[in-house]
A = this chain, B = another copy of it.
Amino acid sequence: MDIKYSVGIMSGTSLDGIDVALVKIKDSGINTKLDVVGFETIPFEEDLREEIKRSLSIEKSNVELICSLNFKLGYAFSNAVKVACNNFNFDLSKIDFIGSHGQTVYHIPKDTKELKKSTLQIGEPSIIAYEIGCQVVSNFRSMDMAAGGEGAPLVPFTEYILYRSSKNRVLQNIGGIGNATIIPQKCKLNDVFAFDTGPGNMIIDEVVYRLTGMPYDKGGQLSLKGKIIEPMLKDLMEHEYILRCPPKSTGREVFGSQFVDKILKQYSSECKEDIICTVTMFTAKSIEYNYRNFIMPRMKIDEVIIGGGGSYNKTLLNMIRECMPECKVLTQEDLGFSSDSKEAIAFAILANETLHGSFSNVLTATGAKEYVILGNITPTPKKFN
């Protein structure tokens, strides 16, 4: 079986930057052999970050912005791959394929009277394929939605491949949104399940930015100085999404800036650190609530492995430990993995499955009716002249 070089590109709801993972990959499915060659996050230029934020807003977005931004992000992703591969000292022409998640700008998990269940990831794959000169797999979420799923989460497949073990594990990613993948000991793919637990860093980051001008609560130092505002926490914990049974998925349209507008208005008399502390505890408690109600009735949890930017927030990590003293709470780094690179690596693996003609959705995670091949393939735009 040939060894291929693949690049995974991820740009999450937290809008930190573009994650680029270069991996060496062999075979597919449960036989996948993976080596991470390099990983780098290329920050968004401020103008582009602001444009993405506008594109997420119903009030500020329009068709012209989305048309243009789709291509701009294609160039930004291409550029990120060029910069990263240069830093890895790796020749672009050796890349066999790219898996690009794209930037999610909207996600409608269920049909409503006016709207169709749908999802929108942008970052034009033709631009990436042309600029880098290789085939690109992208738009992974739509086919799962076509098959009746919510199109998210998709990492459970790669987590199953990388983390199955003799323990009952929960992988808790804390990006903009929090999501949990449950990998029971020695399980089959069908036994894996996953769902979004609610907010990850999204509310914390936005609150910190509005109250202090800083982009996030570095190391959890701000929340450490505050105390819990109990009525506010109680109020937050009654959010419909937290209480809802999985399968479920969510995004910025639920816990984004409009949500933060509301809570900052309601609790405007409280001190900054207390508000930051309370929304941090909300993330911890929402994770606990989901575990106690939707996981622990089925199995004992041996290990919780925290990944994503939230794993660097020590206050948040300690809050999660306090909430669930009976579980061992580890970080990806404790296991020798990297929190930052996990999702970018996932999309290199998912692209590999698509190019092998294999499915990679997990029915218990997305709620899809059947296994399907995810994504569109943009061919290498061969040079003919």
Contact = CB atoms under 8 A, between A and B. Distances in A.
| Chain A facing B: main interface SS | mixed
A58 B69 CA distance: 14
A359 interface: yes
A364 interface: no
B129 A71 contact: no
Contacts of A61: 61-63
B382 A357 contact: yes
A121 to B, nearest CB: 10
A58 B377 CA distance: 30
A169 interface: no
Interface string A136-155: 00110011011100000000
Contacts of A188: none
Given A58-B64, A63-B58, A72 B116 contact: yes
A58 B62 contact: yes
A117 to B, nearest CB: 7
Interface stretch (A100-108, A218-226, A302-310): A100-108
Contacts of A145: 71, 126
Interface in A94-133: 105-108, 114-120, 124-127, 129-131
Q: Which 6 A-B pairs have the closest CB atoms?
A: A130-B146, A71-B118, A126-B142, A67-B106, A376-B376, A61-B63
